[in-house]
């Protein structure tokens, strides 16, 4: 697999307008090129048991103000400010509107709302960032717009909502109002097929990356839904995965960040699936990872947010440290 090489680390000052979060432009210093195959960026914030009541934190996301949203095994969404102080909780365990049982993914939509997927109720639920319930769509079933399982969620530039169906074997796409539009992929193990689609990431060109957890593969589709390629396989090589792929995220340069849970790495690939670098190492010290679970990129600040199962914490890394 080809590596990027070079002797100069180029940085750019990138003003990123998070229109999808209703936020203002922020300046973030981020690396334009990555040249080192293994590195450990610094943790600028560690949210652990001294700041939070976590039980194996899972899904994470961030809003335009740098607030961090964390779902964990206590069946709660906790919101922390950029210093790690708890601001509020959102929703709670239950099946009524605004409640949830088994959140698999969270993201901030272009309308500035927090969206979650619940594999138990098979619903997508949206909240205002202050925690107020707004709407829900989806239900249990096997017809279009229904689910028997639910996993990742992400938006494209048109505001369309992509929701992975997990064991259903395909992704369903909805308009901004939750009306079913079409599907992406189909069950199987051939080109453009899924065994169990999970996490979703969408780049600036609306190309769609979908993790197929059962096969340890990442499938790449064009904005038109046409299959482009798949990459990833089991192994201990730089472009291979030690075990389960847990989550995906995209940075401002369309680099793909992949949680390799059993390898205790975040693996970074370019937009075409070529390996760039491994981030972090196994351990419990700040900056190290033990069973990473969820990931999100704070584009405005150039930060990477990672939840960890075994260390029972969430860390925020500054991507300006990448080399």
Q: What pLDDT, in 10s, does the model give residues 148-201?
A: 999 999 999 999 999 999 999 999 999 999 999 999 999 999 999 999 999 999
Mean pLDDT is lowest, of 32-41, 129-138, 224-233, 302-311, for 32-41
CB atoms < 10 A from the CB of 135, how many? 14
- How many angstroms separate the CA atoms of 11 and 14, rounded? 9
Given a contact cutoff of 8 angstroms between Cβ atoms, the answer to whether 279 and 12 are in contact is: no
Q: What is the pLDDT of residues 257-286, one digit of tens each?
A: 999 999 999 999 999 999 999 998 899 999
Q: Which of 21, 131, 154, 126 is nearest to 76 (CA)?
A: 131
Radius of gyration of the chain (CA): 18
Q: Which of 139, 73, 69, 78 is nearest to 106 (CA)?
A: 69
pLDDT of residue 2: 31
Q: Which of 237, 187, 236 is nearest to 214 (CA)?
A: 187
Q: What is the pLDDT of residues 282-300, one digit of tens each?
A: 999 999 999 999 999 999 8
Question: Is 48 among the domain residues?
Answer: yes
Question: Is 2 among the domain residues?
Answer: no
Which CATH number characterizes residue 197's domain? 2.120.10.30
Question: Is 248 among the domain residues?
Answer: yes
Q: Stretch 69-81: mean pLDDT, rounded? A: 96
Question: Is 3 among the domain residues?
Answer: no
pLDDT of residue 166: 92
Question: Is 5 among the domain residues?
Answer: no
Question: Is 160 among the domain residues?
Answer: yes
| Domain around 71 | 11-321
Q: 323: pLDDT confidence band, cut at 50, 70 and 90?
A: confident
Given a contact cutoff of 8 angstroms between Cβ atoms, the answer to whether 293 and 259 are in contact is: yes
Question: Is 202 among the domain residues?
Answer: yes
Q: 75: pLDDT confidence band, cut at 50, 70 and 90?
A: very high
Contacts of 1 (CB under 8 A, 6+ apart): 237, 238, 239, 274, 275
Question: Is 162 among the domain residues?
Answer: yes
Number of structural domains in the chain? 1
Is pTM, for the whole model, over 0.85? Answer: yes
């Amino acid at each position: 697999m080809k590596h990027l090489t070079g002797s100069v680390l180029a940085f750019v000052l990138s003003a990123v307008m998070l229109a999808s979060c209703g936020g203002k432009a922020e300046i973030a210093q981020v690396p334009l090129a990555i040249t080192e195959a293994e590195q450990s960026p610094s943790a600028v914030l560690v949210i652990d048991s001294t700041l939070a009541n976590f039980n194996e934190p899972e899904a994470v996301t961030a809003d335009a103000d740098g607030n961090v949203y964390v779902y964990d095994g206590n069946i709660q969404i906790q919101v922390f400010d950029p210093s790690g102080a708890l601001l509020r909780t959102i929703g709670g365990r239950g099946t009524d509107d605004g409640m949830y049982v088994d959140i698999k993914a969270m993201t901030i939509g272009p309308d500035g709302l927090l969206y979650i997927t619940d594999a138990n109720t098979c619903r997508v639920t949206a909240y205002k960032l202050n925690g107020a319930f707004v709407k829900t769509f989806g239900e249990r079933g096997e017809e279009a717009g229904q689910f028997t399982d639910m996993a990742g969620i992400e938006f494209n530039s048109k505001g369309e909502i992509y929701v992975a169906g997990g064991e259903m074997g395909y992704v369903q796409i909805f308009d901004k109002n939750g009306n079913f539009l079409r599907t992406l992929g189909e069950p199987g193990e051939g080109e453009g097929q899924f065994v169990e689609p999970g996490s979703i990431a969408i780049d600036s060109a609306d190309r769609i990356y979908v993790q197929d957890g059962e096969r340890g593969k990442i499938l790449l589709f064009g904005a038109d839904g046409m299959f482009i390629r798949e990459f990833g396989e089991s192994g201990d090589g730089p472009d291979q995965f030690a075990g389960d792929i847990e989550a995906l995220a995209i940075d401002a340069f369309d680099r793909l960040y992949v949680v390799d849970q059993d390898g205790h790495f975040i693996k970074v690939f370019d937009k075409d699936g070529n390996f760039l670098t491994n981030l972090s190492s196994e351990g419990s010290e700040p900056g190290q990872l033990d069973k990473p679970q969820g990931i999100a990129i704070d584009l405005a600040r150039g930060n990477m947010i990672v939840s960890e199962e075994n260390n029972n914490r969430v860390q925020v890394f500054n991507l300006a440290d990448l080399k």
